[in-house]
């Protein structure tokens, strides 16, 4: 009877493995802890008891554990193979490497190199056996995969049980992705930003590759189907996806530099695209695939109920951490280029967010630049096989962005989870202003240094990009707020301050006007400190 409430929790849970794991931790059998003193059935014994990668929002991704422990994997093999309790780890590993059970094999591959069996031919043979049996890519790190967590049963878009591992990526992969972020950056405001200001750059902090064997197999099967249907026909995104153009340009400029991202299959018109999301949603998608039943909950459904992808990091950033508006808002009058949304105070800045960099099967692309597309028709023509994806072009007529939409969850694989930081011009400006104030207090201020001018000019070029190198009063308010000198009244006082800066009286502030006023404020002792 004492177990009945826990059994009910497991039965009701959409992911029973995770429910069992949570109960085990509640009883004190968390990662690395001792197993319960009860016999476990074979299926339960093969579950990992590790903490999920995204266990806590405040945690650093790289510091979170991946999946198995030597203790949990050893116990799983002993139970599954009915070995005597307390068997030597290397004997357990050798027995597991000879098993035909794929989960036992995976646990054995994990503990073997940690039990003095690294380099053994039995380990190499078992590794390739498991890779082939589960249809895993040649470039997957099998030790990392073997350390992953097993999730039982289908969930979300995932049709069956899976093993999931999150693998930190090396510098050359991060560099490729950072280049892709930088090269596809566009300072363009749309209503999907929900009132938040546009960052001036996205700085990648961490990248993890997602190894999800079941979702990968489903994706690979659909990729082969699209390739067979296209039968050698050449299809690509009109003018090329900006993400792919950025990578190709980087390859041409640095032919000797090792490629960071894995290759894609042009025969299926497979490309890398962005999908902006939150931390919680990134975990859900990485573990359980995309869910078409949640379509529109964040990005709206202008082009039908599909998975919305972007070729510009700026567009995907609109759907990350931060303010959210009502779904379908983009179906109102379309977005426009502007540095700040219509009147009203901006929401608080959210510095960190997440983007999934996804393999995307686009196949035969249906292009549309209509202001009010027939969403049902677009979706129907893709679902019946006439097309495989839709390119919605809001760049052509409105100067905003192009989006790519697919209508089957298995046409997208979330390959990388990217954690990044939003960098805003006024924050960088505040640091430079504080440095100049410090030199003024020390009696050695002679204006911005050449290095400071170079940085400020570079940042200004982006900050003022939407208005041809000029800023309006709302951008001025951002700058003044950053150095704690915002006017008391955002109406009359802000207007008066703006007129003082706008020495040309043309309704805009040029870079030269900004530089002169900033220098004057420092000389006049209008201080700003950074502790």
CATH code at 463? 1.10.238.10
Q: What is the pLDDT of residue 463?
A: 77
Give every CB contact of residue 484 below 8 A, 6+ residues apart in sequence: 528
Give 37-85 pLDDT, tens digit per residue.
323 333 333 333 333 444 433 334 443 445 789 999 999 999 999 999 9
Give 220-269 pLDDT, tens digit per residue.
999 999 999 998 788 999 999 999 999 999 988 887 777 789 999 999 99
Range(s) of the domain holding residue 467: 425-523
Domain end residue (candidates: 396, 423, 450): 423
Q: 171 falls in which pLDDT band (50, 70, 90)? A: very high
Q: How far apart are CA 328 and CA 391, in angstroms?
A: 18
Q: What is the mean pLDDT of residues 368-373?
A: 92
Burial class (CB in 10 A: 0-12, 13-18, 19+), 308: buried
Together in a domain, 412 and 467: no
| Among candidate residues 474, 378, 394, 387, the one with its CA nearest the CA of residue 426 | 474
Together in a domain, 452 and 505: yes
Domain end residue (candidates: 366, 400, 423): 423
Instruction: Provide the domain count of the chain.
Output: 3
Give every CB contact of residue 186 below 8 A, 6+ residues apart in sequence: 312, 314, 401
Q: How far apart are CA 336 and CA 420, in angstroms?
A: 25
Evaluate whether residue 161 is within a structural domain: no
CATH code at 396? 3.90.228.10
Domain end residue (candidates: 89, 117, 152): 152
The rounded mean pLDDT for the chain is 83
Crossing angle for the helix pair 511-523 and 425-441, nearest 10 degrees?
40
Whether residue 517 contacts residue 498, with contact meaning beta carbons closer than 8 Å, is answered with no
Give 390-435 pLDDT, tens digit per residue.
999 989 888 889 999 999 999 999 999 999 999 888 778 888 999 9
Quick one: DSSP state of residue 420?
E
Together in a domain, 444 and 391: no
Together in a domain, 293 and 144: no
Written as six digits, the tokens of 341 are 């949304």
Whether residue 337 contacts residue 400, with contact meaning beta carbons closer than 8 Å, is answered with yes
Evaluate whether residue 274 is within a structural domain: yes
Segment 113-120 long-range contacts (CB within 8 Å, at least 24 positions apart): 113/143, 114/70, 114/89, 115/70, 115/89, 115/90, 116/90, 117/90, 117/93
Evaluate whether residue 382 is within a structural domain: yes
Quick one: DSSP state of residue 258?
P
Together in a domain, 439 and 361: no
Together in a domain, 263 and 205: yes
Together in a domain, 269 and 226: yes
Together in a domain, 391 and 490: no
Together in a domain, 375 and 311: yes
Evaluate whether residue 216 is within a structural domain: yes
Q: How far apart are CA 433 and CA 438, in angstroms?
A: 9
| HSE, side-chain direction, 13 A CA sphere, residue 257 | 16
Phi-psi region at 212: left, alpha or beta (left = phi > 0; alpha = psi -120 to 50)? beta
Evaluate whether residue 160 is within a structural domain: no
Together in a domain, 419 and 433: no
Together in a domain, 380 and 434: no
Written as six digits, the tokens of 252 are 């041409």
Together in a domain, 182 and 223: yes
Q: What is the pLDDT of residue 125?
A: 98
Evaluate whether residue 378 is within a structural domain: yes
Q: Does the structure show a pLDDT above 90 at 369?
A: yes
Quick one: DSSP state of residue 158?
B
Evaluate whether residue 340 is within a structural domain: no
Evaluate whether residue 529 is within a structural domain: no
């Amino acid at each position: 009877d004492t177990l009945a409430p826990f059994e009910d929790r497991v039965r009701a849970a959409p992911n029973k493995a995770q429910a069992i794991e949570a109960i085990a931790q509640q009883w004190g059998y968390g990662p690395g802890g001792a197993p319960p003193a009860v016999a476990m059935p074979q299926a339960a014994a093969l579950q990992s008891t590790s903490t999920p990668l995204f266990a806590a929002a405040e945690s650093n991704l790289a510091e979170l554990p991946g999946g198995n422990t030597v203790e949990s994997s050893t116990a799983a093999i002993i139970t599954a193979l009915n070995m005597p309790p307390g068997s030597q780890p290397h004997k357990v590993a050798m027995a597991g490497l000879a098993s035909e059970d794929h989960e036992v094999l995976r646990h054995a591959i994990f503990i073997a190199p940690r039990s003095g069996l690294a380099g053994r031919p039995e380990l190499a043979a078992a590794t390739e056996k498991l890779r082939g049996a589960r249809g895993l890519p040649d470039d997957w790190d099998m030790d990392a995969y073997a350390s992953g967590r097993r999730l039982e049963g289908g969930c979300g878009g995932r049709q069956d049980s899976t093993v999931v591992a999150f693998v930190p990526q090396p510098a050359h992969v991060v560099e490729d992705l950072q280049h892709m972020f930088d090269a596809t950056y566009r300072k363009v405001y749309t209503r999907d930003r929900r009132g938040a200001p546009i960052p001036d750059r996205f700085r990648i902090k961490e990248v993890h590759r997602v190894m999800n064997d079941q979702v990968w197999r489903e994706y690979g099967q659909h990729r082969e189907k699209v390739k067979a249907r296209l039968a050698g026909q050449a299809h690509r995104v009109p003018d090329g996806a900006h993400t792919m153009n950025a990578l190709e340009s980087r390859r041409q400029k640095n032919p000797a530099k090792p490629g960071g991202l894995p290759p894609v299959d042009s025969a299926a018109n497979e490309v890398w695209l962005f999908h902006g999301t939150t931390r919680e949603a990134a975990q859900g998608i990485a573990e359980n695939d995309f869910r078409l039943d949640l379509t529109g909950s964040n990005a709206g459904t202008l082009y039908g109920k599909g998975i919305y992808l972007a070729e510009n990091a700026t567009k995907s950033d609109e759907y990350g951490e931060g303010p959210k508006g009502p779904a379908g808002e983009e179906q109102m009058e379309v977005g426009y280029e502007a540095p700040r949304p219509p009147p009203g105070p901006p929401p608080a800045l959210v510095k960190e967010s997440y983007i999934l960099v996804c393999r995307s099967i686009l196949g035969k692309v249906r292009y549309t630049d209509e202001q009010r597309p027939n969403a049902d028709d677009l979706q129907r023509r893709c679902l019946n096989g006439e097309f495989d994806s839709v390119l919605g072009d809001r760049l052509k007529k409105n100067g905003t962005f192009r989006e790519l939409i697919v209508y089957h969850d298995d046409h997208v694989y979330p390959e990388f989870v990217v954690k990044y930081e939003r960098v805003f011009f006024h924050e960088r400006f505040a640091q430079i202003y504080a440095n100049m104030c410090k030199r003024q207090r020390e009696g050695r201020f002679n204006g911005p240094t050449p290095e400071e001018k170079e940085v400020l000019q570079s940042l200004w070029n982006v900050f003022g990009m939407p208005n041809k190198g000029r800023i309006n009063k709302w951008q001025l308010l951002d700058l003044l707020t950053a150095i704690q000198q915002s006017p008391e009244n955002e109406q009359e006082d802000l207007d008066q301050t703006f007129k003082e800066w706008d020495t040309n009286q043309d309704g805009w502030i040029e870079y030269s006007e900004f530089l002169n006023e900033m220098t004057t404020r420092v000389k006049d002792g209008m201080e700003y400190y950074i502790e």
